[in-house]
Structure 1
Amino acid sequence: MGAVDSNVDANGAQGNMNKVEAVNSERGTVTSVSDRKNILSRFSFQKKRKLKKYCIWCGIPVLTLAIVILTLTQTIFKFRDPDITLSDVCFSGVTIDYSRPLSPSSVNASLSANMNVYNPNHYNFKFINSTIHVVYHDVMVGRISMPGGELRAGKSCALQALVTVGSLKLGSSMGNLYLDFEKNQLPFAMSVNIPGRVNVAHIFKHNVVLEYHCDVVFWVGNSTLKDYHCWRKVHM
């Protein structure tokens, strides 16, 4: 009986040992799978982290460049309308040739003016020759030529306008001339289109047309300027 019991005990112990080894084997398998998941999770986290850093380092220069370009377009490269002012308007008065019958060709007057142009931009403005048209009661009575040139950034210049058609043919509107003489004043309209071009950093070129219009009124008695009103438009 003792021998039988010892055999039973030995077999039981061996079985228990086999069960422990099986459990340990199973636990080892579970631990191995868990380690793999942890490794994959850690690798995925590191990969996302590197990708995030890469996006940040790439995004900062792009964002900086966009801010710089936006700032330049709103400051240095932004086109500002040139400022034009009328000055030194000179009216020689009305002359009538009494040696012949009163007619449109016997009534003349001379007119000259200067225009000051200021370029507020950070680049030069180049313009070509232009002509001031002088209108008296919807009738063009004369032309005044203006020379072209190049206006540097932030500078101003005076464009001297000289009469090229000799004198203004006021007699082409005799009826209005009689009425204006009674009022002791002569109204004129002066308009000019100044074509030009701007060159931004020698890269961008834009054609620009400055449209300028003035209504001026002179006293007939002393040929002095009574009043004037001007406005301008810029076309690109």
Structure 2
Amino acid sequence: MKNQSKRRCLIAIGAIIFLILLLFIIILILALTVFKPKQPKTQVQSAKVDGVAPSVSLIPLNIRLNLTLDLQILVKNPNHASFKHGTGNSILEYRDKQIGEADIYPGYIPATGSTSFPCRLTLQVDQLASNLTSLITDIIGGHLVMETHTKIPGRINFLGIFKKHVVTSSDCQFTIAFPSLNITKQECKNKL
């Protein structure tokens, strides 16, 4: 009788250990394949000029011209987990010189979903003064090539249990056609 009960106890313990080991292997395989965090992809969807604000000061003589550019930034979440992000930052450059900056407001992107974020970016045209000949040549040529560098910190959340902090960054180069002010070409490199 004692041997039988010891045997049953060993079989039960062995079955429990086997099930725990099997569950651990399944979770490990899922964590390394299906639920491995993938890079959220960021791209500029559209850009349009919204407003022009000239400013002149007489002493010393200083002329400034600011343009407001409305950007729509699309963020695609390829993960099987939601992506909740904090305040991000997007910098606009023309010929390797920063000409504008915008904040991206906090938000939420569902699993395998995408969201478009509006950004209002003020271009400091006086920053373009050093590249004025290049700017005029590009506009007369019908296209203007600019770059954006975007960083968005956030957290990937799977089933409300597993959470991982990530920072997604995107470097995009896009071409704005003149006079239509449409984006005609765009290349982005995303990092996580």
Give the TM-score normalised by structure 2.
0.73
Write the letter of the residue equivalent to 1:127: H
What does residue 231 of structure 1 align with?
189
Preserved contact between residue 113 and residue 160 of structure 1 (Cα < 8 Å): yes
Write the letter of the residue equivalent to 1:187: V
RMSD: 3.6
How far apart, in 1, do the equivalents of 2:18 and 2:146 lie?
A: 60
1:218 has 2:171 as partner:
no
Identify unmatched segments of 5+ residues in structure 1: 1-45
How far apart, in 1, do the equivalents of 2:23 and 2:74 lie?
A: 38
Give the TM-score normalised by structure 1.
0.61
Identify unmatched segments of 5+ residues in structure 2: none
1:68 has 2:37 as partner:
no
What does residue 142 of structure 1 align with?
100
Point out the structure with the larger strand share.
Answer: 2
Indicate the structure whose relative CO is greater, using CA pairs within 8 Å and at least 6 residues apart.
Answer: 2
1:86 has 2:44 as partner:
yes
Deviations along 1:19-52, one digit per CA (max 9) or x if unpaired, are xxxxxxxxxxxxxxxxxxxxxxxxxxx9xxx6xx
Residue pairs, 1:197-216, within 5 angstroms: 197-216=155-174
Cα offset, 1:75, TM superposition: 5.2
Preserved contact between residue 91 and residue 218 of structure 1 (Cα < 8 Å): no
Cα offset, 1:59, TM superposition: 5.2
Q: Percent identity?
A: 25
Which structure has the bigger radius of gyration? 1
What does residue 114 of structure 2 align with?
156
What does residue 173 of structure 1 align with?
131
Distance 1:90 1:114, change over 3 A: same
- Secondary structure, aligned partner of 1:223: coil
Point out the structure with the larger helix share.
Answer: 1
Write the letter of the residue equivalent to 2:101: R
Preserved contact between residue 89 and residue 103 of structure 2 (Cα < 8 Å): yes
How far apart, in 1, do the equivalents of 2:93 and 2:167 lie?
A: 21
